[in-house]
Chain A
Amino acid sequence: MMAKRVKRGVKRAFQALANQWPFIKYIIRRSIVLFIVLIAVMLSLILIAGGFGIMDRIQRLQIHRDVLDMIRANPNSGRWTSEERQAFISNMTALLEKARGLDQPFYTRTFGYLYQVLVWDFGQAQTLTSSSGSSLVRDMIIERLPRTILLFTTATLISAFIGIAVALVVARKPLSILDRATSTFAVVTNSIPWWWFGMLMIILFSFYLKLLPSGGYVSVPAPEGSLALPLDILKHMTLPTLTIVLVSFGGWAYVVRSILLDVFQQDFILFARAKGLKERVVMYRHALRAAMPPVVTMLLFSIVGSLGGAIITETIFDWQGMGMLFYQAISLQDLPVLVALTFVSAFLTIVVILLLDIIYAFLDPRVRTAPVAA
């Protein structure tokens, strides 16, 4: 009895899986393609950096560090003469370089580097450290990444939300004064760099009005308590978030309005209206739902895209995220961190594009059932 039920359950599960087969096939195919792209991107970066000797220089820096650590760890090293010390350094360095294959031409190490990059093994930074004191580049990135995601996801979600709300209003009366004003506002704000606007916002809100802190992630020293800390972070987040929202919600309104107007032309909207449904119901149940897939795609794309824009925006607001780490790595000429950040950015972009494909296919059945073009 029991076994039969299990058997039936399994069968049903298989059946469900088989029904979803086009979807799964689609995901697998996209994953393979994007994995190949990922490898190609990483390989080309390694080859470019390696061609300039950057990858090897990072290795040598690491070896130098290790050798100095060895000397420090050796209890006898205090009694060494400077010649002995020098000899130890050069012997050990030569040994380690040989062990890592640095005496061979660069391209022989390409796949070794590729493996390291794919498992996020970026070694130690030259000067930068994480706030917990670790000089491992991976620790630094893992510490910074959530902050970047926190700020930019929040800001993007708010802008998208306001933008959609505005679009719902203006799309009802296309070419009205309000609609034209929104379009003009969108065109103007679209050509304003976030970071520049951020500088102006700091001048206005923190220099003249003294309302908000000009930058930082938390106050120094950070307040303690389960409520005080999030509130403090929130206070520091306000100005950058406000900046991003003010500059980008117009663009959202403009694009969503165009999508909505497109949807309004469709027969099913005409039909819904003909049925005598209330305008509200037509708007939210029918039009907005049909407009959702492209909007969600845009949302995810702009979150990923904002990671690139984060570099300067975070620097302006002294927001200790991944973008600012980029800036610090550039100004301190910290090679391992810079190289690692480039790889991580490419890595994240490709992974998110894969996620996007999956979500899109999930939202829009046409994508996964359509015959796939070459």
Chain B
Amino acid sequence: MKKKAISGLRGERYRGIREFLKEFRRSRSGVLGLAMILAFAVISAYATVRYPYSEVIKWNEPRLWKENPTNVPPTWIQTIVNKALPETATYVAPENTKANLTYRGATSIITTVDHLLSFRYSYGETPTNVIVSFKVQYNKSSPSVILTWIKPDGTNIELVSFILERGVVGPPYFITNDLFPLYDDQIKRNLAAFLRTAFNLTQAGELESNMVLKVLFGTNQSIISSGPVEVLKGSYRLRLSFQSFNLVSDFPSSNPVDDIQTFKMVLTGKVYGAMGTDDKGRDLFIGILWGAPIALLIGLLTSVISVAIGVFLGIFSGFYGGTVDNAIQRVTDYFLILPVLPLLIFLSFILGTTGGRSIWVLIVLLSVFGWPGITKVVRSLALQIRESGYVEAARALGASNFSVLLRHLLPQTLPYAFANIALSVPGVIFAEASLSFLNLGDPVLPTWGKILGDAQMGGAAVAGYWWWVLIPGLCIILVAMSFALLGNALDRILTPRLRKR
């Protein structure tokens, strides 16, 4: 008999859930919100798998991004402007284009290596930057290298020739060298000299940076003219000539012969990736992708904590009344009156001076300011329930305070709590974005707010770098809106009593 009653009750509960699901399915905005949240959850999972945490914390290291173009829009912009723009390409010289020649005399060994890197360039515009890097290995005396740029029409331009710095660890010594023609003084001098001799142009001793790419990629006509660059399309070659001279005595026979190990070049384009790059060449796709798990984590965890505090204090306050109620309500009023953002800034700044700034600290800070509104409503709910007939009946049956709290108050307020977890997420996400914008969020991880803060620092709005501003902001709005939609739907279904206030 008793057992049957319980199972009947359980059936009742399941029916409640079934009815809720039925009603939820009918709410279009709720389903849309839930679908969007699930999509963001999938994106988050993908982000954490594709780019593990250990890689993403290197977001602020410029070394990692030096081979990317800076401030360029995403690749798909080409279909919008209907023009092929140069994309970033890396060319590695294959092993078979290397010609080694070693002369072994009685006292000396002379090694010459010619390594050739060829590539086709058929875009209508020049790339944004050229980065040449190579690695050589040698035994004793520093070798010399010559880098020559060979254009499709056969023009040879000697970019640079120099003797490598001495290695520290060795022999054999390994030296890696990066050359940036746009910023390298010797290359710019050599290019100016080339212009003087080849075109009889009066050139200053050093070519200006904006002319470098014109000389490297332009047709002869466009080099002379002052107009825009007309790119000479065709196969280009870049030759690295290496020469070393060693005494036999310095050259243990067990050691390998001096050689070029790697030779590669990066032409950074005018478009990059799915979401473009920022002023440090960072791939915004990675940063924005990683913004999703962080936003969801901060948003959900903070909301759960603040709603838990709010519901707990609200029930307590409404149920016990008297001094407890008064005390809790005064503290709540106090928190409601505080200007939240200035205080959040103040607190995270102070915590930052002691080095304690992370997403966890942020979650605690945001939770501290999240609960008061919820406490107010839950208290009024608790007051209503406390005075209701069935609580009176339960008490008459001898129910203790604790059992009334657990059996009647908590289950009644839980729906409200669930709806409010979703409803508080947008506010949390906006607050986090604001703090990160001010560089007061997590110092390491990329978040949407931080990317926007960087955009402000990098003058993105004034310079018209729309991709850097538009996409992270849209993400913030979409996540906030999806939780608002879900929360509103839950609120409508779960707390019908509050609908008619």
Contacts and interface: CB of A to CB of B under 8 A. Distances in A.
A199 B477 contact: no
A13 interface: no
A200 B477 CA distance: 14
B438 interface: yes
B464 A208 contact: yes
Nearest to B452: A196
A90 interface: no
B461 A214 contact: yes
Nearest to A190: B484
Interface stretch (B208-216, B238-246, B301-309, B332-340): B332-340
A195 B341 CA distance: 14
Nearest to A331: B439
B380 to A, nearest CB: 13
A48 interface: yes
A193 B337 contact: no
Contact of B349 (A45, A196, A338): A338
Interface of B: 326, 333-334, 337-343, 345-347, 349-350, 353-354, 426, 430, 433-434, 437-440, 452, 455-456, 460-464, 466, 469-470, 473, 476-477, 480-481, 484
Contacts of B326: 374
Given A188-B481, A346-B343, A315 B456 contact: yes
B27 to A, nearest CB: 14
A199 B473 contact: yes
Interface string A306-341: 011101100110000000001100110000001101
Contacts of A206: 462
Q: List the 7 closest pairs (A to B, CB-CB), nearest first.
A: A207-B464, A345-B342, A196-B473, A202-B461, A342-B346, A308-B341, A199-B461
Given A41-B337, A349-B339, 16 more contacts: A41-B338, A188-B481, A199-B452, A200-B473, A202-B462, A206-B462, A207-B462, A308-B339, A308-B341, A311-B345, A311-B434, A312-B438, A326-B342, A338-B345, A339-B346, A349-B337
Contacts of B334: 37, 40-41
Contacts of A326: 342, 345
Contacts of A196: 452, 469, 473, 476-477
Contacts of A298: none
B484 A191 contact: yes
A349 B346 CA distance: 16
Q: Is chain A's binding surface mostly helix, strand, loop or mixed?
A: helix
Contacts of B433: 193
Contacts of A199: 452, 455-456, 460-461, 469, 473
Interface in A24-80: 37, 40-41, 45, 48-49, 52, 54
Contacts of A315: 456
A350 B337 contact: yes
Contacts of B477: 191-193, 196
A203 interface: yes
B331 to A, nearest CB: 10
A187 interface: yes
A342 B350 CA distance: 12
A196 B484 CA distance: 19
A355 interface: no
A96 interface: no
A311 B431 CA distance: 12
Contacts of A37: 333-334, 337
A120 B469 CA distance: 38
A38 to B, nearest CB: 9
Size band of the A side of the interface? 35 or more
Q: Is chain B's binding surface mostly helix, strand, loop or mixed?
A: helix
A176 to B, nearest CB: 19
11 contacts: A45-B346, A193-B433, A195-B437, A200-B469, A207-B463, A308-B340, A326-B345, A330-B349, A342-B342, A345-B343, A349-B338
Contacts of A309: 341
Contacts of A312: 434, 437-438
A9 B466 CA distance: 69
> Max chain A CB contacts within 10 Å: which of B326, B334, B345, B440?
B345
Contacts of B481: 187-188, 191
Contacts of A202: 461-462
A341 B132 CA distance: 50
Contacts of B470: 200
A311 B435 CA distance: 11
A311 B348 CA distance: 15
Given A311-B341, A311-B434, A203 B346 contact: no
A40 B334 CA distance: 8
A339 B347 CA distance: 10
A2 B347 CA distance: 64
A346 B347 CA distance: 14
Contacts of A49: 346, 350
B439 A203 contact: no
A353 interface: yes
Contacts of A215: 462
Nearest to B482: A191
Nearest to B437: A312
A326 B339 CA distance: 14
> Max chain B CB contacts within 10 Å: which of A199, A307, A316?
A199
Contacts of A41: 334, 337-338
A52 B342 contact: no
Given A311-B438, A330-B440, A341 B456 contact: no
A327 B456 CA distance: 12
Nearest to A45: B346
A307 B339 contact: yes
Contact of A308 (B342, B437, B439, B480): B342
A207 B464 CA distance: 6
B337 to A, nearest CB: 6
Contacts of B340: 308
A172 B15 CA distance: 41
Nearest to A346: B339
Nearest to B347: A48
> Max chain B CB contacts within 10 Å: which of A54, A195, A203, A353?
A203
Contacts of A40: 334
Contacts of B452: 196, 199
Contact of B484 (A54, A187, A207, A331): A187
Contact of A311 (B342, B473, B484): B342
Contact of A48 (B333, B350, B462): B350
Contacts of B476: 193, 196
B342 A316 contact: no
Contacts of B333: 37
Nearest to B331: A40
Contacts of B456: 199, 315-316
A326 B342 CA distance: 9
Interface in A119-178: none
Contacts of A188: 481
Contact of B337 (A54, A311, A353): A353
Contacts of B426: 191
A206 B353 CA distance: 37
A338 B481 CA distance: 32
A200 B340 CA distance: 26
Contact of B353 (A52, A207, A348): A52
Contacts of B337: 37, 41, 349-350, 353
Contacts of B342: 308, 311, 326, 341-342, 345-346
Contact of B350 (A52, A316, A348, A353): A52
A193 B430 contact: yes
A330 B345 contact: yes
B461 to A, nearest CB: 4
Contacts of A346: 338-339, 342-343
Nearest to B341: A308
